[in-house]
Amino acid sequence: MIRISLTAAALLGSVGFESEVDAKGERSVWVDPRAPDKLTAMGGPGESYSDVILRLVEMEAVQRP
């Protein structure tokens, strides 16, 4: 497992995360080592992991009836 940082808005549902908030107001979560590569591949220029997650959630919400 590896650790990545996310904004509070990207922490949807019941996700295990560290209780401390860093200087940017982000929390660290532990994920499968392949997750960051997948998020990077899905991201656009300058997008953070949080940006990608929030964009994917928005896309999913629009597709639901």
What would the pLDDT profile of 25-39 be if each residue is shown by its tens digit?
Answer: 877 777 777 888 888
Spell out the residues 6+ positions from residue 51 whose beta carbon is closer than 8 angstroms to its own: 43, 44
Assign 21 a pLDDT band (cuts: 50, 70, 90).
Answer: confident
Q: How many domains does the chain have?
A: 1
pLDDT exceeds 70 at position 45: yes
Q: Output 3 or 14, whichever has higher pLDDT.
A: 3
Averaged confidence pLDDT in the chain = 78
- Percentage of the chain modeled with pLDDT above 90: 11
Q: What is the mean pLDDT of residues 3-22?
A: 68
What are 33's two structure tokens? 């080592």
Count of alpha carbons within 13 Å of 1, Cβ hemisphere only?
Answer: 8
Residue 61 CA to residue 65 CA, distance in Å, equals 8
Helix axis angle for 49-63 and 35-42, nearest 10°, is 70
